[in-house]
Amino acid sequence: MKLGRFGVWTAFRLIGRENGPRAAVLAENLGYGTFWLGGSPRLRDVRPLLEATDRIAVATGIVNVWDYEPSRLAKEYAELAGEFGGRLLVGIGIGHREATEEYRRPLTTMREFLDGIDAIHAPIPADRRCVAALGPKMLGLATERSLGPAPYFVPVEHTVAARQEIGDGAWLAPELAFQLGSGPDRHSARTYAAKYLALENYAANLRRFGFDDEDLEGGGSDRLLDALVLQGEAAHIALAAHSRLEAGADHVALQPVGVAGVPSQEWTEIADALELRAEA
């Protein structure tokens, strides 16, 4: 599977479902390797994106284990993989305690879900799935049972620690949020960060990397926002993306923050700064 070093991360709630195919074509033409569809999509939601494109990989970020039976997910994967070859990566995640009444034993539940996939006649191959992971145990499970972990809302220090935890062999693909501009836009960054800081798994993970309760309050301190939402001109964002690779990532999923609709300008400027079309 050709996932490339850089991808784009978005969701239908951000760009509009009707704009998905056009957005996927734009990302492909700009030279990105992967189009990440977030917002806990159903796997069938990626079909229009695959139909509209020829080369770019499409990944879910993530399908939620509480919304699927393993056999159903594997069946939907088989239908799409049969048509689109090696361009579909199934990102699987445990979701959040605050959003799911049934939430329990996240590590055990994820392991049982993967067991369920592997137990059927035509499972999703391990190298065609990845797992959303933050803490050491989930990072280990993602490494053992999938292509590798796909962490979200993490500072670069997490990438360093994750690589040390999983070793050299596994694929590691953190998300990186950013805002283009000459000066910091704290309001948009805080609006983005506030909803994640209210979720215990993200808050607990940030505490592992030196952030305290004061950093987590009010949508995030300036120090926390600077670590999680990169701000600056395209060349600065490109440098930060490369720093994730140097820290141990194999792939970086870039997400513009505070943009309404398809972020054409942001994707284009970052692609140019990364020289993606020259590499394609």
**Tens digit of pLDDT for each residue in 186-195?**
899 999 999 9
**Element (DSSP H or E) covering residue 253:** strand 252-256
C-alpha distance across the termini of the chain, in Å: 15
CATH of domain 6-279: 3.20.20.30
Residue where the block lists tokens 């939430």? 103
Q: What is the pLDDT of residues 214-255, one digit of tens each?
A: 999 999 999 999 999 999 999 999 999 999 999 999 999 999
Higher pLDDT, 103 or 72: 72
pLDDT at 208 over 70: yes
Phi and psi at residue 238, to the nearest 5°:
-60, -40
Q: What is the pLDDT of residues 11-26, one digit of tens each?
A: 999 999 999 999 999 9
* pTM above threshold 0.95: yes
The whole-angstrom separation of Cα 89 and Cα 54 is 15
Q: Where are the domains of the chain?
A: 6-279
Mean local confidence (pLDDT), 113-140? 97
Q: Is 10 helix (H, G, I), strand (E, B) or coil?
A: strand
pLDDT at 280 over 70: no
pLDDT at 223: 96
As a whole-number percent, the residues of the chain with pLDDT over 90 amount to 91
pLDDT at 146: 98
**Element (DSSP H or E) covering residue 36:** strand 34-38
Phi and psi at residue 85, to the nearest 5°:
60, -135
CB–CB of 159/238 below 8 Å? no
pLDDT at 268 over 80: yes
Choose among 267, 251, 257: nearest CA to 91: 251
* Residue 31: band (very low, low, confident or very high) from pLDDT cuts 50, 70, 90: very high
The whole-angstrom separation of Cα 90 and Cα 243 is 26
Q: Which of 96-110, 226-240, 262-276 has the lowest mean pLDDT?
A: 96-110
pLDDT at 97 over 90: no
Q: To the nearest whole number, what is the mean pLDDT of the chain?
A: 95
pLDDT at 98: 72
